[in-house]
Amino acid sequence: MSLGVEEVRRIAELARLRISAREEATFAGQLSDIVDYIDQLREFDDGAASFEETETASDVADNDLPRPAAAAGPADLDETPLLDQFLDNAPASLDRFLLVPQVKATPGGDE
Amino acid sequence: MSVAQSTTGTGAVGVPVDTGWETVIGLEVHVQLRTRTKMFCRCENRFGAEPNELVCPVCLGYPGTLPATNQHAIDLAIRLALALGCEVRRRSVFARKNYFYPDLPKGYQISQYDEPLAEGGSVPLPSGNTVRIHRLHLEEDAGKLLHEVPGGGPLPGRSLVDFNRCGVPLVEIVTEPEIGSPADAQAYLQVLHQVLLYTGASDGNMEEGSLRCDANLSLRPVGETALGTKTEVKNLNSFRHVAKALEYEGERQLHVLTSGGRVEQETRSFEPSTGVTRSLRSKEEAHDYRYFPEPDLPTVVLSRERIERQANQLPELPWTKSARFRDAYGLRLEEAALLSGSVALATYYERAVAAHQKGKRTIANWVMTELLRELKERSIDVNEAIAPERLAAVVALVDSGELSTTAAKEVLAAAWDSSETPDQIADRLGLRQVRDDTQLEAWADEAIAANEKAVAEYLGGRRQALGYLVGQIMKASRGSAEPRAAQEILRRKLADR
């Protein structure tokens, strides 16, 4: 098995997930199967140039052109403007802001 | 010495060598690129919009959305990397950096990890030192957190999130950890800021957060090659703050080390009002960002031609321009550095010199003093200043002896807001230097008659009194008397007494 219970616990902690001891064992098995399967894929040689290595298209003239702000207009499947949808889905909001429990220290992100 | 209390003791040079310790600084700079849209969606990249106005399902991290790379951002990053002397890699990879924070709706930031856009590079400083660049990579900015209600007002226990900044194209530039002093760290940032404006890669607006700096500092015994334990000061948003924070941090660490303690590896914040850095609440958990290649984006593969196109668009860079100014115009290094501080100012100076070639040094002085002061007073940009050719014409009148410096300042002020030529203004205001003896004699007679005390002093052997009398003539002539001729006439008249 490529993943042990210790690693599963660590991953769960980083992902802010609380899991039971029984689940730890189950997930260790399932995640190991996934990782092992990916290792198997690595052995496969498709013999052709990888899709990845295609030169990045650079001459997209309108690539940096803004489209109208989505927040003001309706979202795709609904007539409700995106900002309203987004604030409705949020646990809490204040005016146009998302309201969250206080965060002041930086845990290592870029802010 | 109480190191902790002395915030100015060692000054900008950092920890003095005679302490037996040396300073090692590394800087991590985040630069917002000047694009019209965000890095991975086509929301506008614009400062100052209404909160959460510039958002879409992609930058809000909605399930099922896909990022699409802004190619213009890549081009700007290539140009910046080349300006900094980096080697742009033909192949680089976007990676997910995973962490949870309210300003990051996806739960990961798209960044670059083991295959960044560019590596190596160096930036020459005016001091003659060089700062080497370790790497330069592309990523997206996070949203912005507010800890009080906009316009003031407390927000106990809560924070506000605005996602307008989320997804704005960022370049992260990391130096080698080898900068030796806070002064060099500050100078590096100032040169980097110039490069951003020269290349047009960023607006470099620090108040709006277009340029932000994290600084690492450690001390090690002089002669030691291994690095000591470092601390990181986050989110420094002015050149002065960077130097101040690093000066404080160097002295703090010196105090810890010389009193037998150990420096804790930690993140600290700088409080500008007190000049003090403070430990941020840090959990004992090492960061584990679980980087992996971004599966939703292809590898960035750059053709030689594409990189060359950016190389061809590079302007003359600040340090090259500065060296050329020094050599071609006979300026001192500091003068050359000041005049090449911005492309606009450098162009202004060169246009003025082109109009009055013999005046390259005098024009430099006028630009650095009179022009800059006037710009500051009027709160305007050099592009809105009096035309460089007109300034050159004023300086030419000084160089030819037609105008005194004082009179020339008056002509310049008048020429700024008028369409008359400086020549016409000098005539209209009667400011041309008078060398005509009849006129000078009349002023000299007046000065002698009205200042008996000074005359007596001069005749009594106090030669400085003559200067006072010359001053009176200058005053009476509103600066138009030619001082040397005036002095000559005074001396002759007083000798007759």
Token output for B190: 């100032």
Q: What is the SS3 assignment for B43? A: coil
Which CATH number is associated with domain A5-42?
1.10.20
**Dihedral sign from CA coordinates of B52, B54, B55, B56:** positive
C-alpha–C-alpha distance, residues B410 and B419, integer Å: 15
Residue given tokens 């030419």 in the structure block: B396
Using the beta-carbon criterion (under 8 Å), do A82 and B55 form an inter-chain contact?
Answer: yes
Cα distance from N-terminal residue to C-terminal residue, chain A? 38
pLDDT band at B1 (very low <50, low <70, confident <90, very high): very low
Query: Of 1.10.730.10, 3.40.630.30, 1.10.10.410, 3.40.50.970, which CATH number belongs to B437-495?
Result: 1.10.10.410
**Total residue length of chain B:** 497
Contacts of B78 (CB under 8 A, 6+ apart): B88, B117, B118, B302, B306, B307, B310
Contacts of A12 (CB under 8 A, 6+ apart): A18, A19, A24, A27
The distance of B320 to chain A (nearest Cα, Å) reads 30
Residue of B nearest to A57 (CA): B71
**pLDDT exceeds 50 at position B339:** yes
B303 touches chain A (CB under 8 A): yes
In the three-class reduction of DSSP (H, G, I as helix; E, B as strand; rest coil), residue B145 is classed as strand
pLDDT of residue B6: 33
Task: Decide if A111 and B109 are in contact by the 8 Å CB cutoff.
Answer: no
Per-residue pLDDT of chain A (111 residues; tens, 9 = 90+): 688 999 999 889 888 899 999 999 999 999 999 999 988 888 887 666 555 567 777 655 568 988 765 555 555 555 678 888 889 989 999 999 999 998 864 444 433
Angle of CA points A3, A9, A13, to nearest 5°:
130
Token pair, residue B123, equals: 């930036």
CA B462-B464-B467 angle, 5° bins? 140
Give residues 215 to 244 of B whose Cβ lies within 8 Å of A: 234-235
Q: Which residue has the tokens 């002064």?
A: B183
Question: Which residue among B44, B52, B75 places its CB closest to the CB of A66?
Answer: B44
Least confident of B165-169, B221-225, B432-436: B432-436
pLDDT at position B429? 85
Q: Do B288 and A54 touch (CB under 8 A)?
A: no
Q: How many angstroms separate the CA atoms of B248 and B381, rounded?
A: 35
Closest Cβ–Cβ partner in A14, A96, A103 for B51: A96
The reply to whether residue A58 touches residue B74, judged by beta carbons under 8 angstroms, is: yes
B287 touches chain A (CB under 8 A): yes
Write down the pLDDT at residue A68.
Answer: 65
- State how far residue A6 is from chain B, nearest Cα, in angstroms: 15
Give the list of residues 6+ apart from residue B99 with CB closer than 8 angstroms, or none.
A107, A108, A109, B107, B108, B109, B287, B289
**B-contacting residues in A 68-97 (Cβ below 8 Å):** 69-72, 75-76, 82-83, 86-87, 94-97
- Chain A contacts in chain B segment 33-52 (CB below 8 A): 35-37, 42-44, 49-52
The structure tokens listed for A41 are 């894929």
Q: Give long-range contacts, CB 8 A cutoff, 24+ apart: A71-74.
A: A71/B52, A71/B53, A71/B54, A71/B55, A71/B56, A72/B53
Q: Cβ-count burial of B86 within 10 angstroms (0-12 exposed, 13-18 middle, 19+ buried)?
A: buried
Residues 6+ apart with CB under 8 A from B386: B371, B412, B415, B416
Where are chain A's structural domains?
5-42, 71-100
Best CA proximity match to B364, nearest among B406, B322, B403, B404 = B322
Contact B139 A110 (CB under 8 A): yes
Q: Quick one: B18 exposed, middle or buried, by C-beta within 10 A (0-12, 13-18, 19+)?
A: exposed
What pairs with residue B293 in β-bridges? B95
Mean pLDDT for chain A overall: 78
Residues B189, B202: Cα–Cα separation, whole Å: 14
**Helix pair angle (B318-329, B343-355), 10° resolution:** 20
Distance in angstroms (rounded) separating the CA atoms of residues B55 and B33: 18
Confirm if B218 and B229 have CB atoms less than 8 A apart: yes
- CB-neighbour burial class of residue B241 (10 A; exposed 0-12, middle 13-18, buried 19+): buried
Residue window 140-169, chain B: list those with CB within 8 Å of chain A: 141-147, 149, 155-163
Residue B53 contacts by C-beta under 8 Å, 6 or more apart in sequence?
A69, A71, A72, A83, A96, B164
Name, in order, each residue with C-beta under 8 angstroms of B409's C-beta and a sequence gap of 6 or more: B370
**DSSP 8-state secondary structure symbol assigned to residue B313:** T
Buried b (16+ CB within 10 A) or exposed e, B422-442: bbebbeeeebbbbeeeeebee
Percent of residues, chain B, with pLDDT higher than 70:
96
The answer to whether the CB atoms of A66 and B36 lie below 8 A apart is yes
- Residue B10: pLDDT band (50, 70, 90) is very low
Poorest-confidence range of B215-229, B391-405, B480-494?
Answer: B480-494
Tokens of A36: 């092992």
DSSP assignment string, B365-401? HHIIIIIHHHHHHHT--GGGSSPHHHHHHHHHHHHTT
**Chain B residue with minimum CA distance to A94:** B160
Q: How far is B322 from chain A (nearest CA, A)?
A: 34
Give the Cα separation of A82 and B182 in Å (integer): 46
Do the chains contact at A71 and B54, CB–CB below 8 Å? yes
As a whole number, mean pLDDT of residues B127-146 equals: 96
The average pLDDT across B395-420 equals 89
Whether B90 shows a pLDDT value over 70: the answer reads yes
Nearest CB to A52 within list B72, B149, B298 = B298
Query: So what's the pLDDT on residue B114?
Result: 95
* Sign of the torsion angle spanned by Cα atoms A76, A77, A78, A82: negative
| Chain B residues inside the 8 Å CB shell of A83 | 52-53, 55
> Could you tell me the residue ranges of all domains in chain B?
11-309, 318-428, 437-495
* CA nearest to B92, candidates B301, B309, B352: B301
Distance between CA atoms of residues B101 and B111, nearest Å? 16
Alpha helices for B48-103 (secondary structure H): 71-83
Instruction: Provide the pLDDT for residue B329.
Output: 96
Q: What is the pLDDT of residue A49?
A: 55
> What is the spatial distance between Cα B17 and Cα B12, in angstroms, rounded to a whole number?
13
Give the B window 182-211 contacts with A, CB below 8 Å. none
Helix, strand, coil shares, percent, chain B, to 5: 40, 20, 40
Entry field: residues in chain A: 111
